[in-house]
Amino acid sequence: MVSVRSIANTPSSLTPNDLPWIIEHREDRCTLCGKCAAVCPVGTLKLAYMRKRMPQLVLSSSERGSAYKTFVGIRQSTEVNKRCIGCGSCAMVCPNEAIHPVQNGERDRFRFLNSPQGEPAKRGGRRNDPGASLLDRIIFDRISMLTDPALDAGRHEFSCNTLLGRVLPPEEYVRRKLAGEWIPPVREIFPFVIGSMSFGALSPNMWLGLLQGVAYCNEVLGIPVVMATGEGGCPPWVLRSPFLKYIILQIASGYFGWDEIIRAIPEMQCDPAAIEIKYGQGAKPGDGGLLMWFKVSKLIARLRGVPEGVDLPSPPVHQTLYSIEESVMKMIQTMSMAWNFRVPVYPKISGSTSAKSVLNNLVRNPYAGALMIDGIDGGTGAAYNISMDATGHPIAANVRECYLDLCAQGKQNEIPIFAAGGVGKNGNVTQNGMALIMLGASGVHMGKFIMQSAAGCLGTESNRCNVCNIGLCPKGITSQNPKLYRRLDPDQVAQRVVETFMSIRTEIKKVMAPLGRSQSLPIGMSDALGIDDKDVAERLNIRYVC
Amino acid sequence: MCRLAMKTASEPFSPFSVLQAMEAMQEGYDGSGLGLLLRGLKFADYKYNAADPILSGIAHTEAALARLDHLMDKAGFTLKYDHEYDVKKAMIEAQDRHKYVLRVYKKPAAWNKLSAEEVEHELMLTRLALRADGEANGNDLTAFSLWPDVVMIKEVGWPLDIGIALGLDSGRITSRICMAQGRQNTNYGINLYACHPFFIQGVATMTNGENTAFIPIKDWLSGRSYPGYIGYQSDSEVFAHILHYVTKQLKLPLETYKHVITPLKNEELAKHPQGDFLRGLRDACRRLIIDGPNAVIGTLPDETSMLVMDAKKMRPATVGGKPGEWAIASEMCGVDAMIPDRDRSKDFQPMREHTVIIPPDRQELQIWSQFDQLPIHQAA
């Protein structure tokens, strides 16, 4: 045994086996083309010259006993910042199936060292909680077709849309209509909304693809899909286009992009679908947004009215926020007034045990159009691991509690609750969404799912990729670098958006038909829900089934 | 599936004739019970003043009856007539029926200064107090209705047998409207309150079908904090409460009911002369949209009768008759049995957009379509 000091060894030394992903490389198939090393977003792959000893039996004393051979091979970096993220870009470009990342079955040691320079671990993407989510486990068990004529999902007409905006109680509606008074704006939209992802977080090609797909869904297929911008404004040409009506503009604590929006108001051809005021998000409650400097391209800088290449942090809280009552009053009314009370305005908050207090304030504000609650499973562009993993509230119980609270006040039709946070994180988007709707949500927002479904995002709950925050998205979805985002064809994204929503629409019908529902979205139809966990059933006030 | 029969005529007739008509529809139904509502009453042995409230129910024990007397006394009611049914106990399945209550009362003198609306409210509260008293005492007192000119009977068993067991064939009671339904609510646990027709403040409905949107509708109605919106042992009870809500709370015309329970689609509303109003109404009353296959037959305090279908017309129902006499039934043979001498070519089976209305004068059938203009000015 040699002394350990003769081996490079520091507290942070890692071997490939300590990393979450290990590169499996077959040198017998490798043609040394170098594409894998070129494409690797984090530069973990090294095409290196290496020397190999070739021991040989030598009988003559004039010759040396060993020969050396030099060869070229692929090696994986064990530096924390250059670790393999498992994205699989190398496998995608390898002409010979000679290389791919394999998830380390061991509990990796890397996590203990993932704080170089004292900076805690950050990532983009998701919560990394693999396995069936609670929403995945909810089933629809009240099959009505046994007692009455069945609906045919393929033949009958179904009304699957939902309402976004303040709905008056019927007595008040009739009174105001009679008196010719103001009726709050209400939008009829598809209950699955493309959640807030900013123009800045997403690449221009991704954003364009989403918008094209959304426009096609609305104008050709009659599926009234809307998408939310996230903080950071909206491209000027979109603000002045007829497509603005499919867009929910978000205002958040940094107010980025709002100069451009306010200036465009006189030139708008139509009103936006709604205004979302972000007070919090599921992935990082109590933390403001952050657009890293390398994502602040010329275009983004123009939209946000800032210099190029600077970090753009949003404060954790709105500067105007003294109390929720005051903020709701100020911001909701100001935003409503900007569009002359023709556009629904609603706050987005992170899932929290205090969600009910916010809700009760909204109930008392006649201009509040909805409440959007983003649960702990919500994804993001960038957040500290600790925020993403352990801060927030799961969405199911949060929505249920708020809905039942509204029911107790008889106001469940007046303030629609929208839910987000893990909808479709395992691919079961319609099932997850419909479960939330039957628990009381009027609709759901989805972010990660749409990135995966429409653009082929490589991330998974097993911590694959999840580097949306560093501008190096291998698919070009969350990058402002043209070399990366030109990999993404907006037309193809648009097509996938359309395919995704067509499929969701069919699946909604496949859920509604056996329940005997076709006339309206089954919001709050909790008698149709069951779960194989007594405690959850009791908490959510649904049936325990086994 | 339920079988429903309703007859309305200018001249009072015996409810037994409607029970006989139900026999014609016996194929395919389980005959598990009878729900009966009579309106426009005439008693052979009592000259009834149509303004006096009538209490209908069952006192299951002597003690319950005594409590009923006490409660009505305390509320200030004076008993004017106590109808004794000619009960043949052996023909009734249930054994705990001490007395079938049909009593005519004089309203409390203290109510004289109340408005008509307030009197209606007090009548409902008195009925609910009786119901609550029964529920607090092991369900030994059942109060179906307390309203002028309305009698209700609900019992378990074969409808015709119940009719004979209660002596309805004797002709002692006749009425201008009779709503009959032949089933207990076997979808859930049997409970007399769960049997159609359902009644609230003179508004009554009975339904053939299943309301799959029951829970969200129930949740919304329960949230109104309106004392009468309780019960919901049956998914069909909400039809009566929605009809009450639309006509009595929102004070909208009867035709609006259909727009609330089965609103038109966007493209249809776009062409409707009051599309803007109706779209807003649809949004405001969104939680009252019914679902599933349903035929709803209803009657109102002024003796108007009505029939509407679900939005997909998944249940049958026929209306037929002649001036002065009309019948609605879930099966055509039921209409035949109630009014055999009518012009059958004029029978009508409403489609998804129709509301069939038989006005109190009973001279003609009004077929109103959702696509027609509503008789309300503000929507124009």
Task: Report pLDDT for A10.
Answer: 87
Boundary residue ending a domain (A88, A119, A150): A119
A504 to chain B, minimum CA–CA distance in Å?
21
In terms of phi and psi (left: phi > 0; alpha: psi -120 to 50; beta: otherwise), the region of B300 is beta
SS3 B298: strand
Task: Report pLDDT for B181.
Answer: 92
Closest CA to A279 of A338, A323, A342: A323
Question: Is the residue at A45 inside a domain?
Answer: yes
Q: A146, A415, A525, A540: which to substitute to probe chain B, counting the most B Cβ within 10 Å? A: A525
Both A109 and A144 in one domain: the answer is no
- Averaged pLDDT for residues A267-288: 93
> Which of B215, B225, B283 has its CB closest to that of A526?
B215
Does A243 or A318 have the greater pLDDT score? A243
Strands (E), A190-336: 192-194, 227-228, 247-251, 274-278, 290-291, 312-313
Both A81 and A160 in one domain: the answer is no
List of chain A residues whose C-beta atoms are within 8 Å of the C-beta of residue B220: 407, 410, 412-413
Tally of domains in chain A: 2
pLDDT > 80? residue A45: yes
Question: Is the residue at A475 inside a domain?
Answer: no
Burial tier of B332 (Cβ tally within 10 Å: 0-12, 13-18, 19+): middle
pLDDT > 90? residue A148: no
Average pLDDT over chain A reads 92
Boundary residue ending a domain (A119, A151, A183): A119
Task: Report pLDDT for B378.
Answer: 54
pLDDT > 70? residue A525: yes
Both A282 and A343 in one domain: the answer is yes
Task: Report pLDDT for B129.
Answer: 97
CB contact under 8 A, A517 and B291: yes
- Averaged pLDDT for residues B112-121: 96
Residue B187 C-alpha from the chain's centroid: 19
Q: How far apart are the first and last CA of chain B?
A: 41
> What is d(CA A540, CA A400) in angstroms, rounded to the nearest whole number?
6
B47-82 pLDDT per residue, tens: 999 999 999 999 999 999 999 999 999 999 999 999
Question: Is the residue at A28 inside a domain?
Answer: yes
H-state helical runs in A94-221: 134-137, 170-179, 204-219
A317 falls in which pLDDT band (50, 70, 90)?
confident
Domains of chain B: 4-48+149-369 (3.60.20.10)
In terms of phi and psi (left: phi > 0; alpha: psi -120 to 50; beta: otherwise), the region of A286 is left
Question: Is the residue at A155 inside a domain?
Answer: yes
Task: Report pLDDT for B380.
Answer: 41
What are the φ and ψ backbone dihedral angles of A364, each rounded to 5 degrees?
-85, -5
List of chain B residues whose C-beta atoms are within 8 Å of the C-beta of residue A183: 280
**CB contact at 8 A, A182 and A176:** yes
CB contact under 8 A, A148 and B209: yes
B7-36 pLDDT per residue, tens: 999 999 999 999 998 888 887 667 788 999
Is the CB of A274 inside 8 Å of chain B's CB atoms?
no
> Which of B187, B262, B287 has its CB closest to that of A413?
B287
> What is d(CA A369, CA B246) in angstroms, rounded to the nearest whole number?
25
Both A433 and A359 in one domain: the answer is yes
Both A55 and A176 in one domain: the answer is no
Q: Which two tokens stand for residue A386?
A: 């600790």
**Structural domain range at position A348:** 134-459+487-544
Both A151 and A83 in one domain: the answer is no
Is the CB of A354 inside 8 Å of chain B's CB atoms?
no
> Which of A186, A408, A517 has its CB closest to that of B212?
A517
- Averaged pLDDT for residues A284-310: 87
Q: Which two tokens stand for residue A72?
A: 């070229």
Q: A141, A142, A148: which to substitute to probe chain B, counting the most B Cβ within 10 Å? A: A148
**CB contact at 8 A, A297 and A308:** yes
Q: Who's near B39: CB < 8 A, 6+ residues apart?
A: B149, B150, B175, B176, B177, B178, B179, B204, B299, B303
Q: Which two tokens stand for residue A410?
A: 């008889």
What residues pair up with A371 in beta bridges, in sequence order? A417
Is the CB of B372 inside 8 Å of chain A's CB atoms?
no
A2 falls in which pLDDT band (50, 70, 90)?
low
B341-358 pLDDT per residue, tens: 999 999 999 999 999 999
Q: Which two tokens stand for residue A271?
A: 């009103």
B146-182 pLDDT per residue, tens: 999 999 999 999 999 999 999 999 999 999 999 999 8
Is the CB of A541 inside 8 Å of chain B's CB atoms?
no
Residues of chain B with pLDDT > 70: what percent? Answer: 97
What residues pair up with B205 in beta bridges, in sequence order? B198, B298
The structure tokens 């409650």 sit at: A285
Return the DSSP state at A449.
H
Of A273-282, A317-326, A409-418, B99-108, the poorest mean pLDDT is in A317-326
Both A113 and A258 in one domain: the answer is no
CB contact under 8 A, A186 and B283: yes
Distances A204 to A239, A252, A457, A484 between C-alpha atoms, Å? 15, 20, 15, 11
Of A177-181, A231-235, B237-241, the poorest mean pLDDT is in A231-235
H-state helical runs in A69-203: 89-93, 134-137, 170-179
B379 falls in which pLDDT band (50, 70, 90)?
very low
Both A436 and A315 in one domain: the answer is yes
> Which of A157, A177, A523 has its CB closest to that of B216?
A523
A169 to chain B, minimum CA–CA distance in Å?
6
A495 to chain B, minimum CA–CA distance in Å?
27
- Averaged pLDDT for residues B196-212: 94
Q: Which two tokens stand for residue A461?
A: 């709950």
- Averaged pLDDT for residues A229-235: 89
Q: Spell out the long-range contacts of A485-489 with Cβ–Cβ below 8 A and sequence spacing 24 or more.
A: A485/A203, A485/A204, A485/A205, A485/A206, A486/A205, A488/A203, A488/A205, A488/A206, A488/A209, A488/A455, A489/A205, A489/A209
CB contact under 8 A, A168 and B266: no
Of A55-59, A240-244, A334-338, the poorest mean pLDDT is in A55-59
Residues of chain A with pLDDT > 90: what percent? Answer: 72
Q: Which two tokens stand for residue A220?
A: 């050709």
- Averaged pLDDT for residues B318-345: 95
pLDDT > 90? residue B209: no
Both A160 and A237 in one domain: the answer is yes
What are the φ and ψ backbone dihedral angles of A213, each rounded to 5 degrees?
-65, -45
> What is d(CA A75, CA A86) in angstroms, rounded to the nearest whole number?
15
Side chain identity at A243, as an amino acid letter?
Answer: F
> What is d(CA B110, CA B148) in angstroms, rounded to the nearest whole number?
17
Residues of chain A with pLDDT > 70: what percent? Answer: 98
List of chain A residues whose C-beta atoms are within 8 Å of the C-beta of residue B213: 517, 519-520, 522, 525
In terms of phi and psi (left: phi > 0; alpha: psi -120 to 50; beta: otherwise), the region of B247 is alpha
A80-118 pLDDT per residue, tens: 989 999 999 999 999 999 999 999 988 889 999 999 899
CATH of the domain at A13: 3.30.70
Q: A156, A161, A517, A520: which to substitute to probe chain B, counting the most B Cβ within 10 Å? A: A520
Distances B301 to B39, B121, B324 between C-alpha atoms, Å? 8, 14, 18
The two beta strands, A345-350 and A274-278, are parallel
Task: Report pLDDT for A1.
Answer: 66
Is the CB of A167 inside 8 Å of chain B's CB atoms?
yes
Task: Report pLDDT for A8.
Answer: 74
pTM of the model: 0.95
CATH of the domain at A144: 3.20.20.70
> What is d(CA A141, CA A362) in angstroms, rounded to the nearest whole number?
33
Q: Who's near A182: CB < 8 A, 6+ residues apart?
A: A176, A341
pLDDT > 80? residue B188: no
Q: Who's near A299: CB < 8 A, 6+ residues apart?
A: A204, A235, A480
CB contact under 8 A, B250 and A409: no
Q: Which two tokens stand for residue A373?
A: 């609650």
User: Between helices B275-284 and A170-179, what is the axis angle to 10°?
Assistant: 150
Average pLDDT over chain B reads 94
Distances B309 to A181, B259, B266, B350 between C-alpha atoms, Å? 34, 12, 20, 7
Side chain identity at B7, as an amino acid letter?
Answer: K
Question: Is the residue at A476 inside a domain?
Answer: no
pLDDT > 50? residue A180: yes
Residue A386 C-alpha from the chain's centroid: 18
SS3 B177: strand
Question: Is the residue at A472 inside a domain?
Answer: no
Both A436 and A494 in one domain: the answer is yes
List of chain A residues whose C-beta atoms are within 8 Å of the C-beta of residue B249: 170-171
Closest CA to A45 of A15, A83, A4, A80: A83
Q: A181, A404, A519, A526: which to substitute to probe chain B, counting the most B Cβ within 10 Å? A: A519
**CB contact at 8 A, A474 and A484:** yes
Question: Is the residue at A439 inside a domain?
Answer: yes
Does A493 or B377 have the greater pLDDT score? A493
> Which of A144, A157, A177 has its CB closest to that of B280?
A177
Both A109 and A139 in one domain: the answer is no
> What is d(CA A501, CA A488) in angstroms, rounded to the nearest whole number?
20
> What is d(CA A330, CA B250) in angstroms, rounded to the nearest whole number?
33
A73 falls in which pLDDT band (50, 70, 90)?
confident
Is the CB of B225 inside 8 Å of chain A's CB atoms?
yes
Both A424 and A326 in one domain: the answer is yes
Strands (E), A357-420: 371-374, 380-384, 417-420
pLDDT > 70? residue A394: yes
Q: Which two tokens stand for residue B205?
A: 């409905």
Boundary residue ending a domain (A119, A144, A179): A119
